[in-house]
Amino acid sequence: MKLVLQLPYSGVEREVTVEKVPFTIGSAPTSDLVIATLAPEHMVIERKGESYFLAVKHPGIKVNDKPLMGEVLLFEGDKIVFLGGRLLVKEIPVALEEGSQATQFLPMEELPYFKVLSGPVMGAVYEVSGPGTLGRGEDADYRVDDPYISRRHLQIHIINEKVEVEDIGGKNPVLINGKPLLGRARLASGDELVIGKTRLLFIDPAEKSESEVFASRGGKRVPIAVWASIGAVAIILVGIGVFLFFQQRAQAYTNAISGGKSAFSSAQFITETEGRVREYSRAEASFKKALSIKKNDPEATEWLTRSQKYLQGWRSVARAETLVTQGNLSEALATLEAVMAEPEFRDERYIAYLYDDIMRTLFIADAYNDAKRLYLEGKDKEALSVLSMALARAPDHPQLLALEQAIKSAKRETPAQRQEKLTAIAQKSKTAPGSVPSYTELGVKKPEVKMTEPTINISKTTGLGTGSSGLGKPSVDLSAQLPSVEKLNLESGGPKLPGVGEPTISLDTKLDKVGELKKAYEEEHNVDKAYRIAQQILNDDPQNTKAKFYARLCELERKARAYEEKGDKEKALEYWKQLLNLDPNNKWAKEGIKRNS
């Protein structure tokens, strides 16, 4: 048997399967279906033969919009209504076997019933769905909770779809229309029975409806006290319903706020970008739900704003990761710059390290391409100067070394000869797709010096810290799309570099300013001067990778030195390490790490 539980105030609707009988429904923890608004064992579903019955032990239950106190035969589609919700009979599984003798039941649309006019269970309705006993006992088919009624007081018969009653030996006599019931009597719609302290009105809708019965009596038989009692009960039930409604809304608000805060807190300790986006999305949904319950609530509004801020930021980080996998490093860098401009993300180490790795990659590729153009134009000295910036970050990179060798051996070469050399480097690089060609393939000698590995790089991020300042791993594996510099193929097989090497101003003008910038930082090591020059270049050329690179170096070194002056060695060490990650051979970063370790 299957029921559908509906709780409109809390939005609950679920299917309940009755796998065994008796099946108790109430607020007791031992009930088969626990409903807080009911009595401990308010009603029971039982099976008799091939049929299912609902036995109601306490008032407050309606079946198909009729109050019920007692037992009723259940049919598919029946609606059982209680305080705060309802149960729908969805499916009654088994029909009677062919050839078996069924108990005689009246058609559902013509079911007669007893209505309690006065007594302990006044207002209850007992549908006569089949023959049985009426009494106070637990085993009575129609149970009336009246201490003056015997356990088995009245026998109900159904003969030719008519109801007959018989007194079966109760201590108190049964009265029918004011006279003692002797033997068996057939009931007509409108007859009254008195059993103990309970007065029952029998109604047979097929014969005469309840309204017709009362109309024929002029309404005099129902005392005013009855209607007053019914009205009082209705007012109490409405009050309870209103109280429960607001109590449920208050609890729903509390649950939404608590759930949102839990998701927000959980996001701080997740290391994957995808996981953070998921948890901040959960937090946003919870705080929106809280605001739908309590509009303009300051607490919910504040938390919703915070969760949306973090959700937007980490969605941008996820987009940057996707752009890296697509090879669009310039757009990935711009996306991360927008995120890092927000105060909430300035201390996010993973975002900073991802940004720095992309920046270093673009810086080296940009310097390599500029050096090639200058070499083709016959400006060998300028080409070597630009190339030296890349070699300072990747001194053992074979393609950088091959280009340096080509420039140094140029002497009086024609443009065609120079182009031939560059073509040869590109062709040799293509012999090893997806990786850097060897020194032998490019015809250069492997240098003694080896590039210093970054303290932390994008291919080694798993498990390095948690929380808002921890460095988590990306949602996707970026190690293939963003390799360490010494594995970066600058000719083929590496990431696409849209816009790299396409200056928006004259290359000579740009390189003159970059030369000043390089001198200020690397020779004079005047950080403030270098930062001012970098900003001047970026004002004219906002996408200048070299200016961005040196500006970033200056920013990190300024922070590291500021914390060092304050005596916060731990924070200073963090920024010195971050500087070394961006510029692996930076001697000032190495000295700073040594001082603060």
Q: Render pLDDT for 532-543 as a digit per residue (tens, 0 to 9).
A: 999 999 998 888
Segment 438-449 mean pLDDT: 70
Per-residue pLDDT band for 7 (boundaries 50, 70, 90) equals: low
CA 193 – CA 174 distance, rounded (Å):
7
Q: Which two tokens stand for residue 199?
A: 């007065």
Segment 467-471 mean pLDDT: 32
Per-residue pLDDT band for 453 (boundaries 50, 70, 90) equals: very low
CA distances in angstroms from 468 to 264, 314, 546, listed in the order given = 11, 12, 30
CA distances in angstroms from 135 to 146, 148, 154, 158, 174, listed in the order given = 8, 10, 7, 17, 12
- CA dihedral sign, ordered 482, 488, 492, 496: positive
- The dihedrals phi and psi of 573, each to the nearest 5 degrees, come to -60, -40
Is pLDDT above 50 for 327?
Answer: yes
Burial of 440 (0-12, 13-18, 19+ CB in 10 A): exposed
Q: Contact at 8 Å (CB) between 148 and 197?
A: yes
pLDDT score, position 203: 93
SS3 string, 499-531, reads CCCCCCCCHHHHHHHHHHHHHHHHHCCCHHHHH
Name the DSSP letter for residue 458: G
Tens of pLDDT, residue by residue over 169-209, are 777 899 999 999 988 999 999 999 999 999 999 999 889 88
| 313 CB neighbour count, 10 Å cutoff | 21
CA 577 – CA 591 distance, rounded (Å):
11
Segment 579-597 mean pLDDT: 91
CA 454 – CA 119 distance, rounded (Å):
89
- Global pTM value: 0.52
Task: Name the nearest CA neighbour of 390 among 379, 378, 402.
Answer: 402
Is pLDDT above 70 for 570?
Answer: yes
Segment 43-71 mean pLDDT: 86
Segment 468-475 mean pLDDT: 39
Is pLDDT above 60 for 480?
Answer: no
Any long-range contacts for 560-566 (C-beta under 8 Å, 24+ apart)?
A: 560/589, 560/592, 561/592, 564/592, 564/595, 564/596
pLDDT score, position 102: 35
